[in-house]
Chain A
Amino acid sequence: MGNTLTIAEAHEKLRKKEISCSELVQSCLDRIDSVDGSINAVIGRNFERALEKAKKVDSKGEFNHPLTGIPYLAKDVYCEKDVPTTACSNVLRKKDYKPPFDSTTIKRLNAVGAISIGKSNTDEFTMGASTETSCYGPTRCPWDPTRVAGGSSGGSAAATAADECVFAIGTDTGGSIRQPAGFCGCTGIRVTYGRTSRYGVMSMASSLDTIGPLCKNIEDIAIVLEAIAGKDPLDATTSDMPVPKYREALTGDIKGMKLGMPKEYFIDGMHEDTEAAVRETKKVFESLGATVEEISLPHTEYATPTYYIICPSEVSSNMARYDGIRYGHTVEDAEDLIDYYRKTRSSGFGPEVKRRIMIGTYALSAGYFDAYYRQAQKVRTLIKRDCEEAFKKVDAIIAPVSPTPAFTVGAHEDDPVAMYLEDIFLDTQVMAGIPALSVPCGFSKENLPIGLQIMGPQWQEERILKIAHAYEQSTKWHTRKPALGS
């Protein structure tokens, strides 16, 4: 079936007319109909529009770009003209916000003929590590639906792993692409801050947000990234750094490359299978002619506390726009304007969004700014320096994505700090603004995927893709599929 193909495979078949674009799109829609009831990855469906577009692509019959006619899902924070986009929040769901414009990424994907088939589930406004804070309910791991898919791009990761789409796009602010990719057994990349445009993607923490793809293999990541990366006049924080032809870097040759494994990423309480699988990658890299040495990133333990000051501070500012005036839901019984703000916001936001707004409001308030936000920004500098020092010695850093495989739904229900600790291996990269990706590196005894994280210096997406591709091609963990619905 077409839905199980990678982008590169589907493109080849479309080009040779072995499959039509309509058949390819229909195979994804059928798969969503048959398995999404078990995983809840897709919360918005553009099926009719997707089939109409597919027909047009077929009648034109030209497949010059590898993404032409390829069906994908967008995380529910990507604005898409006339398509309900709700950030999985009741604030926007009650009136089904329909953006009158496209985000830059959707526009770029449309321009090369990729076909959006729907919206994927996310934690409310991307705040979470399990997709459980979504107003549509949690996304479940395709390998074991009693467990979470990870988050916040849990819908994008689960849908990609379950072959409900050929690829998906997500966002990574504090691990929200890498962690669900690791839990679901697909690949995903957090790019260098400013490599991709944030325009039209609902902001969580503006100095940390990045947008990127989740795919079935590294070659596909290279294809999507090449299409969406690069300067955007509508996002002043994008860089005019040239976008490399990422696929050309995927030669499989990593001889002589120096990799570092940070000792701080192997901690008490981590799952023994995760530790074993990640340590085992050393042998694979050595067999490919690379070297692996132990390194140190001394401020690792401060990355997550830093994140949970900077992120909520920026959240408290960004969420101010949801005031029930320009968009969103409304209340009838307000006494005055302030009362209207309070009532719409209180009835629309879920608990995690409220928690972050309040932590941020507190951290930025008079008397606390220097102790919290300013101190966090200074520690951020130290974390960034750790990485700069490490990259003087090694070409890339390899580490686990998460300390354990996917946890059970509800495991952290009453403990927000336990949920935050899911990010402990994911926030250093955010603070340092460096690219990092997640690639499958094995399975636990319970048959749950384990992810390997590969990080490079700023702007070196090309290098980490090259390393990940060489690894992936010599292990083939990425070709295993969950038994879901079969």
Chain B
Amino acid sequence: MADLSHDDVRHIAKLARLNLSDEEVEKFSKELTSILKYVDKLQEVDTKGVEPTAQVTGLTNAFREDRVSESDATPEELLACSPLPIVEKQIQTSSAHG
């Protein structure tokens, strides 16, 4: 496992929608490299023919009837949680296109 370069860290941050200062890039490239080195231990385990586990108790699809039910919160209460202006029951954000 190679060390994560500053550019790698900047690229990951971009994918994760985070801005990092130069000091953060420096700090995270060291820290993330040490974490990846640690988890790299898993590569030594032979998992040939082993099925992956995603749901641990064996639960399969949980179906319910498709009908409208009451919610505890009203649309107005949910909209009131937003820090942005509400216009005609919609949240007004910055433009997606600059």
* Any B CB within 8 A of the CB of A302: yes
* Any B CB within 8 A of the CB of A339: yes
A382 engages B13 (CB within 8 Å): no
Q: A residues engaging B (CB < 8 A)?
A: 81, 95, 97-102, 192-194, 207, 233, 236-237, 239, 299, 301-302, 305-306, 308-309, 316, 320, 323-330, 334-343, 345-346, 349, 354-355, 357-359, 361-362, 365, 371-372, 374-382, 384, 416-417, 420, 431-433, 458-459
Given B16, B43, B82, B84, which contacts A375 in the complex, CB threshold below 8 Å? B43
A328 to B93 alpha-carbon distance, docked (Å) = 14
Given B31, B41, B47, B57, which contacts A192 in the complex, CB threshold below 8 Å? B57
Secondary structure at chain B's binding surface: helix, strand, loop or mixed? loop
24 A-B pairs within 8 Å (CB atoms) are namely: A97-B81, A100-B80, A194-B57, A301-B41, A305-B38, A305-B40, A306-B42, A308-B35, A316-B16, A325-B82, A327-B82, A334-B94, A340-B94, A343-B19, A346-B19, A354-B28, A355-B35, A358-B13, A371-B43, A372-B39, A377-B53, A378-B53, A379-B42, A380-B52
Least CB distance from A196 to B in Å reads: 13
Contacts of B2 in A (CB 8 A): none
A337 engages B93 (CB within 8 Å): yes
Assess A377 versus B19: contact at CB under 8 Å? Given A336-B94, A371-B43.
no
Least CB distance from A482 to B in Å reads: 34
Assess A378 versus B52: contact at CB under 8 Å? Given A81-B72, A355-B32, A357-B18.
yes
Contacts of A99 in B (CB 8 A): 81
Assess A365 versus B15: contact at CB under 8 Å? Given A302-B42, A359-B35, A378-B51.
yes
Given B20, B24, B64, B71, which contacts A233 in the complex, CB threshold below 8 Å? B64
Which residue from chain B places its CB closest to the CB of A353 in the assembled complex? B18
Given A237, A361, A416, which contacts B15 in the complex, CB threshold below 8 Å? A361
B57 engages A433 (CB within 8 Å): yes
Assess A379 versus B28: contact at CB under 8 Å? Given A308-B35, A337-B93.
no
A98 to B19 alpha-carbon distance, docked (Å) = 27
Query: In the complex, how many residue pairs between chain A and chain B have their CB atoms under 8 Å apart?
Result: 175
Least CB distance from B60 to A in Å reads: 11
Assess A358 versus B9: contact at CB under 8 Å? Given A336-B98, A420-B38.
yes
Least CB distance from A447 to B in Å reads: 33
A417 engages B81 (CB within 8 Å): no
Contacts of B52 in A (CB 8 A): 374, 377-378, 380-381
Least CB distance from B93 to A in Å reads: 6
Which residue from chain A places its CB closest to the CB of B37 in the assembled complex? A417
Which residue from chain B places its CB closest to the CB of A231 in the assembled complex? B62
Given B18, B24, B78, B94, which contacts A337 in the complex, CB threshold below 8 Å? B94
A305 engages B41 (CB within 8 Å): yes
Given B38, B47, B84, which contacts A378 in the complex, CB threshold below 8 Å? B47
